[in-house]
Amino acid sequence: MIKISKEIIEKVFEFYKVECQYLIKAELDYPIAKGIFKIPRSFYTKEGIESGHFNATDMMICYNQLAFAFFIDSIQRDLIQGIEKNLSLERRFQEGLIIGMNNIKFRKPINPKEFEGKIKLEKIIPKRDDLIFFNTSYDFENGKATGNVDLAFFKQ
């Protein structure tokens, strides 16, 4: 496992409100990235009202943060071919697309105070000249929340 630098995580956080910065640390073992998350309080609930568990909104924020850290680090290390290495992070956020979400399962509650999640790059599909597609899977807390997310990124 290679530690994903704090600098990369901080770059990802530039696009999130402070109360939505959930990823604490991350590691890369290509094609898998693991992260530790903490959700001190849900940003979307009224003061004093908490869901008390990890839900779909939290899952997507955690997935996004770990996925962008994974892709940025993997591209910088030349582990993923076909995407311009020097594209700005801003452009990646603006032009990266979630094009599908499948098999979303929440099997058991997850305590949001600290938990582990991982994503895996399952497949790369270079279908078009300007886009590259990625099939990914995620797993939070050893099978308590799982699913698949399909992504598309512009190559340049």
| pLDDT score for 78 | 87
DSSP classification of residue 5: P
Average pLDDT of each block of 10 consecutive residues along the chain (156 residues)?
Answer: 94 89 97 95 62 81 94 88 65 73 94 95 85 94 97 79
- The answer to whether the beta carbons of residues 146 and 139 sit under 8 Å apart is yes
116: nearest Cα among 53, 62, 45, 48: 62
CA 125/CA 13 separation, integer angstroms: 28
CA 34/CA 72 separation, integer angstroms: 14
- The answer to whether the beta carbons of residues 85 and 78 sit under 8 Å apart is yes
Query: Model-level pTM?
Result: 0.89
